[in-house]
Amino acid sequence: MKLNELQIENLYLFTRQHFVEWYDLQTELVDHLANAIETQWQEFPNRTFDEALQIEFKKFGVFGFMDVVEQRQMALGKKYNKLVWSHFKDFFRLPQVLGTFSAVGILFFILKFSLYSEVIFLGLCVLLLVLFFYEVAANHRKMKQKTKETGKKWLFKEIIGNYGHGSGFFFLSFQLVFQLRKFLADDYLLIFASFFVVIVGLFQYIILVIIPSKAEEYLKETYPEYELV
């Protein structure tokens, strides 16, 4: 015996009631529950839908679907980090590496020979911070609008929109960058400071611009059904 459309909808509702808000995870769980219930019915054809569902749900343990959600978050978080790292490595391959080290060199000479090196350094840090908040706000608006249009949330899309754990990295980075201004008189530390600022800028560009601009492509790769929905 197969589940009908109303029972499938009830499974989606059941997952939402148990705090699974992402459509991709709901679909995985619904597929699992539906197959398990149909398997039960082969052996116990008189068992009701609700009875079979509760039996399957109990197999997930005390925390219900939370373990599944955490495992999926970890897996997609690793996928996101790999994307960030892949784009970051591109800036250290030809021809991009020339631009990367040129930026470091230009910043180094500006800070070394300018009479206003500290002002320039702090101004650049503030500019990066302002751009960070601007892009965060803009990307959140776009993601919220897209979710409103489709009526569905996707876990990997949310990870992209929240930049993995990138927000914490940026705040720690900017704190360190502000401290580095104390060492502008030392050439070796000045090189390090210039390199560090460029690295922070690259990560910011990757997380806030490159990956969000390719988000639809990555989502279609992750979820074959995404384009249909």
Buried b / exposed e along 176-186 (16+ C-beta atoms within 10 A):
ebeebeeebee
- 59 with 105, same domain: the answer is no
Question: What 3-state class would DSSP assign to 64?
Answer: coil
User: What are the structure tokens assigned to 223, written together?
Assistant: 């979820």
Question: What is the enclosing helix (H) or strand (E) of 113?
Answer: helix 96-113
Length of the chain: 229
Tell me which of 40, 64, 88 is where a domain ends.
Answer: 64
pLDDT for res 29: 95
Q: Assign residue 47 a region: left if phi > 0, alpha if psi is -120 to 50, beta otherwise?
A: beta
Query: At residue 66, what is the residue type?
Result: M
Same domain, 137 and 100: yes
Q: Are residues 103 and 171 in the same domain?
A: yes
**Gap between the terminal Cα atoms of the chain:** 28
pLDDT, residue 210, reads: 93
Residue 228 lies in a domain: no
Over range 129-140, report the average pLDDT.
82
| Nearest Cα residue to 89 out of 202, 173, 222 | 202
CA of residue 32 relative to chain centroid, distance: 26
Q: Is residue 227 part of a domain?
A: no
37 lies in the same domain as 77 = no
The secondary structure of residue 209, as a DSSP letter, is: I
Does a structural domain hold residue 229? no
Residues 201 and 187 in one domain: yes
Give the number of domains in the chain. 2
Instruction: Using CB atoms within 10 Å of the CB of residue 103, give its burial: 0 to 12 exposed, 13 to 18 middle, 19+ buried.
Output: middle
81 belongs to a structural domain: yes
Domain membership of residue 10 (yes or no) is yes
Is there a single domain that holds both residue 30 and residue 83?
no
Domain enclosing residue 18, as ranges: 5-64
Boundary (domain end) residue, out of 44, 64, 84: 64
Q: Is the confidence at residue 171, as pLDDT, over 60?
A: no
- The share of the chain scoring above pLDDT 70, in percent, equals 89
Dmax over Cα atoms in the chain, in whole Å? 86
Task: Look at the block and give the residue holding tokens 């009526």.
Answer: 151
- Structural domain ending residue among the three candidates 16, 44, 64: 64
48 lies in some domain: yes
Dihedral Cα 164, 167, 170, 176, nearest 10 deg: -120
134 and 217 in one domain?
A: yes
Same domain, 152 and 178: yes
Is 93 exposed, middle or buried, given 0-12, 13-18 or 19+ CB atoms closer than 10 A? Answer: exposed
Q: Are 99 and 144 in contact (CB under 8 A)?
A: no
Q: Are residues 44 and 78 in the same domain?
A: no
- Indicate if 37 and 86 belong to the same structural domain: no
Q: CA 149 to CA 30: how far, in whole Å?
A: 23
pLDDT given for residue 16 in this prediction: 95
Q: Name residues whose C-beta falls within 8 Å of residue 40's C-beta, 6 or more positions apart in sequence.
A: 47, 52, 55, 56
CA 52 to chain centre: 36
pLDDT in tens, 80-134: 999 999 999 999 999 999 999 999 999 999 888 877 777 887 788 788 888 888 8
Looking at the structure, tell me whether residues 43 and 127 fall in a common domain: no
Same domain, 23 and 75: no
179 pLDDT band, cuts 50/70/90, is low
State pLDDT tens for residues 194-218. Answer: 888 899 889 889 998 899 889 889 9
- Reported pTM: 0.83
